[in-house]
Amino acid sequence: MKAAILNSLERPLAITQMPDPEIGTGEVIVDVAAAPVLSYANEVFNGQRRYTLELPIVPGCGAIGRVRASGPDATHLKVGDWVFCDPTVRSRDDALMPDIALQGWSSRGDGGLRLQRYFHDGPFAEQVRVPTENAVRIGDIDPGEAARWCALNVMLVPYGGLLAAALRAGETLLVSGATGNFGSACVAVALAMGARCVVAPGRNAEALDDLKQRFGARVRPVRLSGDEQADRERMQQAAPCPIDCVIDLLPPSAPVTAVRAAMMAVRPYGRVILMGGVGMLGDAGLDLPYPWLMRNDITVRGKWMYPTEAVTLMTGLIRSGLLDLRHFDVKTFPLDRANEAVSHAAANGGPFRMTVIQP
C-alpha cells in the first residue's frame, strides 16, 4: 500500500510503498477514506511539540474509513461498514488504570510507549490496523462526505470534557479558548447538548463575531484584555446567570493568567475541566488559591481525550440534526500531497476549518 512515512524530524514525509498491515486477533483492517491533518501537525513532525514518537512511523490521528477485515472477536462489524478509527488506544490488562497511546501520534509513559510500538502506524496511508473496539460504526454515509465526518476528530475531544463535567441541558458553560480549533467545536457541541448559553472569551474579535453569527444569542462573546481580574468580571457579567461549568482548551502558548481568570469565574459548587496545554512548554504552572477552592466547594478535574462510547453518542447528535457538520469548511489533499496538506493545515487552522488527506 501507499503511505506517508515520517522517517526523521529533520525531513518531510516520504510518500512510498510499504507492506499492507496484517490482521491479528482483536484487530480490524480499515481502508482509509479520509484522515484529518491537525493544525499543529507540523510542530509534531519537526519535534517542537516534543511528542513521544519512535521513528519511522506512518503518522496521523484518527480517520474515517470502511472495514476491510475483522478478527474473530468482532460480532457486529461487517466488511464495508463505515467506521471512525478512534486513535485513543487503551491497554486491555488494567481496567482501573489503562495505559494510553494515540495511534500514529503520541504516547504517555512506558506503558503507552509499548502500546505505540504495536499499534504503531496511523492513517496517513491507504489502510490502517486498529484494535477492534477502536473501529466504531457510524452508519452509512455518502463517500463524498467522508472528509466532513473527520470533524468527529475535533469535536470528540471537547465532548469528552463535557461528558466528564456531566454538563446538563439548561446549564451555563464557559469555554476558555473558545476562538481556537477545539474551543469553537466545544461551543457547537455544548449547544447541541442543550446548554442554556455558552460564554465565549477570546482575543480574536473576528472569531468571536463568527461564533455569534453561527449560533445566535446563546453565545455570549467576551473580548479579553489581558487584565486577569477585569476579564474574570466581564466573563461573569456576560452570563445571564452564575456559570455552572468551565472547560479550558487553551493551547500551550496561552498565558496561565487566562486559564485562571476563566476558572475562577465559575460559581460556588461549580465544576472546572482542564483539557488544554498550558504549562506543557515548561512555563509557570497553574496557581489557584486554596481558600477559594475549598470554601466554594469547587470541583477541578483534568481530562484527556474521551470515553469509548463518546463516538456512538456524538454520532447520535449528528444523525438527529442537533450537531451540523456543515459548519466545517474542508480542504482535501490526495496522499501524494501529504506534505502540502501539513503546510496548509498550519497556515489555515482555526475555528471550523479542517484539512484532510484522502488516500
| Each residue's pLDDT tens digit, 259-310 | 999 999 999 999 999 999 888 777 778 899 999 999 999 999 999 999 989 9
Q: Are residues 13 and 67 in the same domain?
A: yes
Residue 206 lies in a domain: yes
Provide the CATH number for the domain around residue 240. 3.40.50.720
Q: Provide the pLDDT for residue 51.
A: 86
Q: Are residues 133 and 162 in the same domain?
A: no
Provide the CATH number for the domain around residue 33. 3.90.180.10
Nearest CA to 130 out of 140, 142, 122 is that of 122
Instruction: Tell the burial category of 155 from Cβ atoms under 10 Å away from its Cβ (0-12, 13-18, 19+).
Output: buried
Q: Are residues 100 and 169 in the same domain?
A: no
Q: Are residues 245 and 139 in the same domain?
A: no
The residue whose grid cell reads 466581564 is 234
Last residue within a domain, chosen from 255, 287, 302: 302
Q: How many CA atoms are closer than 13 Å to the CA of 216, on its beta-carbon side?
A: 3
Number of residues that make up the chain: 359
Positions in the chain whose pLDDT score sits under 50: none
Residue 316 lies in a domain: no
Cβ-contact 156, 33 below 8 angstroms = no
Q: Are residues 119 and 166 in the same domain?
A: no
Q: Provide the pLDDT for residue 281.
A: 73
Residue 278 lies in a domain: yes
Q: Are residues 205 and 187 in the same domain?
A: yes
Q: Provide the pLDDT for residue 274.
A: 98
Contacts of 96 by beta carbon, 8 Å cutoff, 6+ apart: none
> What's the total number of domains in the chain?
2
Q: Are residues 289 and 339 in the same domain?
A: no
Among residues of the chain, what percentage have pLDDT more than 70?
Answer: 100
- Widest pairwise Cα distance in the chain: 61
Structure letter (DSSP) for residue 125: B
Q: Are residues 117 and 101 in the same domain?
A: yes
Q: Are residues 159 and 212 in the same domain?
A: yes
Q: Are residues 159 and 298 in the same domain?
A: yes
Q: Provide the pLDDT for residue 108.
A: 84
Which pTM value belongs to this model? Answer: 0.94
Residue 193 lies in a domain: yes
For residue 176, give its domain range: 155-302
Q: Provide the pLDDT for residue 288.
A: 94
Among residues of the chain, what percentage have pLDDT more than 90?
Answer: 91
- Measured from the Cβ of residue 140, the count of other Cβ atoms closer than 10 Å reads 9
Instruction: Tell me the per-residue pLDDT of 160-194, one tens digit each, with 9 for 90 and over.
Output: 999 999 999 999 999 999 999 999 999 999 999 99
Q: Provide the pLDDT for residue 283.
A: 74
What cell numbers appear for 306 in the block?
A: 474521551
